């Protein structure tokens, strides 16, 4: 389809033309915060919550909730982009940056180039370590100054805002370093393996 | 677009002839892209309501007030009009006869669309897999596919269709008269020991509630597949 058919009578109702440098192709801005999950929202008890960094069978570091709160905290303001076409601007998140997690286990750099995020409910997603270092990724525990609501991934979600938001896995419990890339959950159901919204990498083959 | 079916005052079904369509599974969706005369484009996702066996791809679209794409699709689009469509998309929220049952589908409002594809698929194949639909609407006028569902249930002893009207009920209404709750799900859905395949689709808060009630009743979270849409219902912003 080189020349798309014109939809007679269809016109933009949005006033976001001035923001085009912030809105990736095919996205629209919402002020709401839609919820998309493959299954029920898990109810997670903070007393039993742990977060771990893992390499093959080894646990590089593991933190209980209070310990995790004791790690250096970072706050970022960022735009987020969901593959279902909505984008939300200027969202504020607080948590522990991936760089600080590596430091907490005395690593100067990622030991393997790929990472699988494992979550409550069995969800997984794969992300290159390069997309998390240098302040690009964090484990977020607060949204807009409050604990992240469970439906939005609380108590803790991976946040990789420069990729489509399914990569920012909800209810994350473990990051596992991998020598070779593997597909996570949506990646094995036809979604793009990398998911860069600026290249509109929505689905496999984009 | 081949044909439009008026479903309710706010909902229409669009029957589409798609060039090069490779077929789909019940529960999958498509992305559509509209292009304005000035080149502006907008994309949205819609569930497919037709079964794989159907010759047309049917999208059932609810007009969202102040929406950009749905008012156009519901009010402006005429048969013969063309737009870009991509799909099918999504391989998780799907059900096929081969996956077996029993099948329990729970719909809120226009969330019925992908679940209807599953029921139509089952019906088309004359499957005897036990199935139940629990369908929540505001009023009787808001019930989409009402006649078709009634007819399907009448001729199929293995299908149970249960409705609940949450806002207004006619006097003669014999279904439920409240929002879906744990006891309603316990009465209508197959018990956990029959390990039903469960699909829940509707507005975000509806799906959050129904899926948590199902977990409360003892259903395995992994057996509950969900699709949410629309606003979160939080404070207006």
- Report the C-alpha dihedral over residues B125, B126, B129, B132, rounded to 10 degrees: 100
Q: How far is CA A205 from CA A27, A189, B6, in A?
A: 19, 13, 36
Question: Per-residue pLDDT tens for B2-13?
Answer: 999 999 999 999
| pLDDT value at residue A37 | 86
Contacts of residue A71, Cβ cutoff 8 Å, sequence gap at least 6? A63, A96, A100, A101, A104
Q: How many CB atoms lie within 10 A of CB A58?
A: 9
Q: Where in chain B is the domain with CATH 2.40.30.10?
A: 3-89
Of A31, A39, A85, the CB nearest to B224: A39
> Which ipTM value was assigned to this complex?
0.85
- Report the alpha-carbon distance of residue B233 to residue A34 in Å, rounded: 9
Q: Per CB distance under 8 Å, which residues of A are interface residues toward B?
A: 1, 4-14, 26, 28, 31-43, 84-85, 121-122, 151, 185-186, 189-190, 202-203
pLDDT tens profile A164-199: 999 999 999 999 999 999 999 999 999 999 999 999
- A-facing residues of B in 62-121 (CB < 8 A) are 66, 68, 72, 76-77, 81-84, 89-93
> How would you class B65 by CB atoms within 10 Å of its CB: exposed for 0-12, middle for 13-18, buried for 19 or more?
exposed
Report the topology of domain B97-229: Rossmann fold (3.40.50)
Residue with tokens 């409050």: A146
State the CATH architecture for B3-89. Beta Barrel (2.40)
Is B193 near chain A, with CB under 8 Å?
A: no
Greatest pairwise CA separation for chain A in angstroms: 60
pLDDT at A2 over 70: no
Domain boundaries, chain A: 49-181
Which residues contact residue B19 at a Cβ distance below 8 angstroms, ignoring those fewer than 6 apart?
Answer: none
Q: Which residue of A has its CA nearest to B76?
A: A9
CATH C-level class of A49-181:
alpha beta
Alpha carbon distance B202, A99 (integer Å)? 39
Q: What is the pLDDT of residues A102-137, one digit of tens each?
A: 999 999 999 999 999 999 999 999 999 999 999 999
- Of the candidates B52, B48, B92, B95, the one whose C-alpha atom is nearest the C-alpha of residue B196 is B95
Q: Which of A6, A11, A34 sits opposite B232 (nearest CB)?
A: A34
Q: To the nearest whole angstrom, how far is the Cα of A133 from the nearest Cα of chain B?
A: 30
Give the separation between CA A106 and CA B25, rounded to whole angstroms: 48
Positions of chain B with pLDDT lower than 70, given as ranges: 231-237
Structure tokens given for A100? 């600080």
Out of B35, B45, B224, the one facing A4 most closely (by C-beta) is B35
What is the location of CATH 3.40.50.80 in chain B? 97-229
CB pairs under 8 A between A and B: 110
Digit-coded pLDDT (tens) for B27-49 = 999 999 999 988 888 999 999 99
Which residue is closest to B80 within chain A, CA to CA? A7
């Amino acid at each position: 389809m080189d020349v798309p058919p014109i939809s007679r009578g269809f016109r933009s109702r949005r006033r976001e033309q001035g923001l085009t440098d912030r809105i990736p192709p095919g996205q629209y801005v919402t002020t709401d915060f839609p919820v998309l999950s493959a299954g029920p929202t898990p109810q997670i008890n903070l007393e039993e919550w742990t977060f771990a960094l893992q390499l093959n069978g080894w646990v590089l570091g593991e933190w209980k909730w209070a310990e995790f709160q004791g790690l250096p905290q970072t706050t970022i303001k960022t735009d987020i982009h969901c593959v279902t076409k909505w984008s939300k601007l200027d969202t504020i998140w607080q948590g522990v940056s991936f760089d600080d997690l590596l430091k907490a286990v005395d690593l100067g750099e990622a030991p393997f180039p790929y990472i699988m995020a494992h979550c409550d409910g069995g969800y997984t997603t794969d992300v290159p370590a390069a997309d998390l270092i240098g302040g690009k990724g964090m484990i977020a525990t607060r949204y807009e100054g409050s604990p992240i609501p469970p439906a939005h991934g609380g108590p803790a979600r991976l946040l990789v805002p420069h990729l489509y938001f399914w990569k920012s896995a909800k209810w994350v419990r473990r990051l596992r370093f991998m020598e070779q890339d593997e597909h996570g959950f949506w990646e094995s159901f036809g979604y793009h393996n990398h998911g860069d919204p600026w290249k509109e990498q929505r689905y496999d083959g984009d | 677009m081949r044909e439009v079916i008026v479903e309710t005052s706010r909902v229409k079904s669009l029957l589409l002839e798609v060039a090069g369509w490779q077929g789909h599974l019940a529960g999958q969706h498509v992305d559509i892209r509209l292009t304005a005369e000035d080149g502006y484009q907008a994309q949205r996702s819609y569930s497919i309501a037709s079964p794989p066996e159907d010759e047309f791809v049917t999208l059932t679209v609810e007009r969202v007030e102040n929406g950009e794409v749905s008012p156009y699709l519901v009010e402006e689009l005429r048969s013969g009009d063309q737009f870009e469509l991509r799909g099918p998309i999504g391989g998780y929220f799907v059900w096929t006869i081969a996956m077996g049952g029993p099948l329990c589908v729970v719909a809120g409002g226009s969330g019925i669309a992908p679940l209807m594809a599953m029921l139509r698929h089952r019906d088309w194949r004359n499957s005897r897999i036990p199935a139940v639909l629990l369908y929540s609407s505001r009023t009787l006028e808001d019930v989409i596919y009402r006649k078709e569902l009634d007819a399907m249930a009448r001729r199929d002893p293995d299908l149970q269709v249960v409705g609940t009207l949450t806002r207004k009920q006619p006097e003669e209404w014999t279904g439920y008269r409240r929002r879906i709750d744990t006891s309603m799900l316990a009465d209508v859905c197959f018990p956990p020991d029959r390990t039903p395949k469960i699909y829940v689709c509707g507005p975000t808060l509806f799906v959050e509630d129904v899926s948590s009630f199902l977990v409360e009743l003892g259903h395995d979270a992994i057996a509950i597949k969900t699709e949410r849409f629309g606003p979160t219902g939080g404070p207006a912003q």
